[in-house]
Amino acid sequence: MSDQIIGLQDWLQTPPGRYLLDWERTQVDRAVADIFGYHAVQLGLPELGGLQHNRMPHRWLATQQLPLSPPNAEPRSNSLETEHVALALVTDFEALPFPAASLDLVLLPHTLEFSDAHATLREVERVLVPEGRVVICGFSPTSFWALRRARQQLWRLLGLRRFVGPDYLPLQDSFLGVWRLRDWLRLLGFEVELVRYGCYAPAVSSLPWLQRFAWLDRLGARWWPVFGAAYLLVAVKKVRGTRLLGAAWKAAPVRAASPVVAGQRRQDMTKKEEKK
């Protein structure tokens, strides 16, 4: 596992990390609850447990190495094992061990920010069935959090390291914003269905201050949604020439073979009775 992913796991135990994780759990649970199919996989970030509320019979968690829970981590009320989400494999996200068109749902919680995003998306497109869904979580570049990180990078370039302090976000590379992600998905044949933003609190590090700014989450979602610190995106794979066939809920009515002949026979019988 790279140093970036280790930094992410440690960061998730900080007050901003727990604040972000709570929001993402809520949004992912809502997004995957009504996605149907047979096979789903989550790539990375086992702390999220994003497939617990999905009802597909086969759900897996894939990581780049076995997950190690920090000693002070707060486990979710329902573990992956109790929810029948199996830790099935340790693999490279850029070369998934699944056949083409074999998965109905792929969940990417900050996966693209800590891997080769292009290669991972190409693999996701390969393994998804037509009309399959991909759910992506990421940090937004248009937020107070991104502004603080940009300021820290500027001070480093100017040699003012004593003003920098510890990194507020675990990212080492640039942000992967929604607009750039839309373009990449469109090139791969995806159609974006849903985008949600969240976490509008300023870039503060203490839990009491995050709680004081909780009212911004209500206002931000209504008045300045794109300035949230994180986003959730749902896209569907579109394939030309495919057509989904629905179930035959109602059988076609069976019509009489020859109603005219039956009526003529009845008239003939009536005439015979009159002659008698």
Q: What is the pLDDT, as a whole number, of residue 1?
A: 43
Higher confidence at residue 67 or residue 15?
Answer: 15
Order of strands, sheet of 103-109, starting from the edge strand that comes earlier in the sequence? 85-90, 58-63, 39-43, 103-109, 128-139, 230-237, 190-198
The β-bridge partners of 108 are 136
> What are the pLDDT digits (tens) for 115-138?
889 999 999 999 999 999 999 999
Q: What is the pLDDT, as a whole number, of residue 35?
A: 92
Residue 224: pLDDT above 50? yes
What domains, with CATH codes, occur in the chain?
A: 3-275 (3.40.50.150)
Q: What is the pLDDT, as a whole number, of residue 78?
A: 37
Average model confidence (pLDDT) for the chain? Answer: 80
Highest mean pLDDT among 64-78, 192-206, 251-265: 192-206
- How many Cβ atoms from other residues are within 10 Å of residue 28's Cβ? 24
CA distances in angstroms from 240 to 130, 192, 235, 237, 273, listed in the order given: 9, 16, 16, 10, 67
Output the six-digit token pair for 190. Answer: 């995806």
